[in-house]
Structure 1
Amino acid sequence: MRKIIIAVCFLGSVSSCQSQNWGNVLKQANDVLSSAKGGLTTEEISKGLKEALTVGIKNSSSQASALDGYLGNQTIKLLFPPEARKVEEKLRQIGLGSQCDKFITALNRGAEKAAGQAVPIFVDAITKMTIQDALGILKGDKDAATQYLKKTSTEALTNAFSPIMDEAINSTGATKLYGDIATTYNKIPFVGQKVNPDLKGYATQKAIDGLFLLVAQEEQKIRENPAARVTDLLKKVFGSNQ
């Protein structure tokens, strides 16, 4: 139990560890040991982390799936695929910038549409979390929970997102726009290597990457900001050193 309480104290202190020496951090741990009324059980820690992850997932999915959730967020906004950046540059040079802008908008609308489907996949991974997983997250880095989700849900997320994203970018017109852009570019004399109009794999991966970035931000909020702990158990687990 002593190790568990110290781990909880460490988690609450992770945001300020860089500005404190280890003596102060250990003192805080000892203070918790001295004042705790029986401490936290491993079951409470596990349940608290599952609650924290569920809160973070729902917030992230809601943020990403809102209008301009991707398009208006420069850190996760989907742009032209790297291998097609030269296409965008060339088309803008010849006066087709509006076509490029329409494609980028349609691509991000597809990601926003698909993001709303992420919650059940993430929740399934959270449900399967063991007590050992939970303790490992407590003792891990400040993005340990996000890394756990990446490890346990990326494959399922990719498999589920792929058809969703395919349908989404078709419905928003991104696929057709990209095909038109590639066709236009490929007809320009002396452009060299032709571009592949297949877009689904790129869009799927970038949408998932954006979601994980938002999840990491939510994890940081819950670890560092008491106001983000919206249930009593979250306050108990993440605020045990306060």
Structure 2
Amino acid sequence: MDRRTVLSSSWATAMGLLALEALPSAGWAAAFSQADASAALKAALERGAQVAVKQLGAADGFLSNDKVRIGLPDVLEKAAPILRTVGRGAQLDELVTSMNHAAESAVSLAQPLLLQAIKSMSLQDAQHILQGGENAVTDYFATKTRTPLGQKFQPVVSKALDKLSITKRYNDLTGKASKLGLIQGQPVTVQDHVTQRALDGLYFVIGEEERRIRKDPVGTGSALLKKVFGAL
């Protein structure tokens, strides 16, 4: 079974539970208890989180995905055309590649905290997810894990960037841009930029699967979904 199939199956199970909100309360009670629904949701989310982390933590997991690839910080993106005309194009490209590889090295740290957020999910949390909008799962993960994950990511990102001398190269590039009058004020650090964009990418992948399955739950072929929709 390939990675995509596993991911779809995992999230299909989770989104099947999300579809329970459409059932009449009597039908829900007959098919599942609230505790059972919560336990099943936790199990499905656990598998989904594991696969998302594996996908982004793979070689070129960020770099090869246009939707989550980490680009230059805004200040350098705006200055890039001029920097390329003065011979800094290769450095800019190298910076992008290295930032994405640094994100790969950090993303594996997300799994324990995502799993802890799932395990600590209350019945009320589960109900909010079941009855929430298309980003309910993603919002839950972000609320529970973004701050602690940022704290764990940054040292790993910093180490990866320093190993490749990327921090120095980034500072050289921003310094050159400042001298050319292309940057005003203090630019964001490369460590902060990579950390925040890596987190954005992680939640995006989770959210993308959530929205896809919410939009077409029947198309996933989930046995649970067939059972739920058959009861409507």
TM-score band, normalised by shorter chain: 0.7 to 0.9
Pick from 199, 211, 223 the counterpart of residue 208 of structure 1: 199
1:75 partner SS: coil
2:83 partner SS: helix
Tell me what 1:39 maps to: 31
Mapped partners of 2:126, 2:50: distance in 1? 19
Pick from 140, 149, 162 the counterpart of residue 148 of structure 1: 140
Mapped partners of 1:238, 1:95: distance in 2? 59
Bigger shift: 130-139 or 176-185? Answer: 176-185
- Identity of counterpart residues, as a percentage? 28
Mapped partners of 2:219, 2:47: distance in 1? 13
Displacement of 1:239 in angstroms is 5.1
Tell me what 2:18 maps to: 11
Letter of the 2:60 counterpart: D
Displacement of 1:65 in angstroms is 0.9
| Alignment deviations for residues 112-136 of structure 1 (CA, whole Å, 9 cap, x no partner) | 1111111001111111100111111
Displacement of 1:9 in angstroms is 7.7
Cα 1:194–1:150 change in 2 (3 A) is closer
Letter of the 2:81 counterpart: E
Pick from 65, 68, 75 the counterpart of residue 73 of structure 1: 65
| Alignment deviations for residues 194-215 of structure 1 (CA, whole Å, 9 cap, x no partner) | 7647311111111101100011
Larger Cα-atom Rg = 1
Displacement of 1:109 in angstroms is 0.6
Contiguous gaps of at least 5 residues in structure 1: 1-7, 15-24
Tell me what 2:171 maps to: 179
Aligned length: 214
Q: Is the contact between residue 60 and residue 218 of structure 1 (CA under 8 Å) also seen in structure 2?
A: no
Q: Is the contact between residue 106 and residue 169 of structure 1 (CA under 8 Å) also seen in structure 2?
A: yes
Contiguous gaps of at least 5 residues in structure 2: 1-14
Cα 1:238–1:98 change in 2 (3 A) is farther
- TM-score normalised to the size of structure 1? 0.76
How well do the aligned residues superpose, as a CA RMSD in angstroms? Answer: 3.0
Mapped partners of 1:106, 1:196: distance in 2? 19
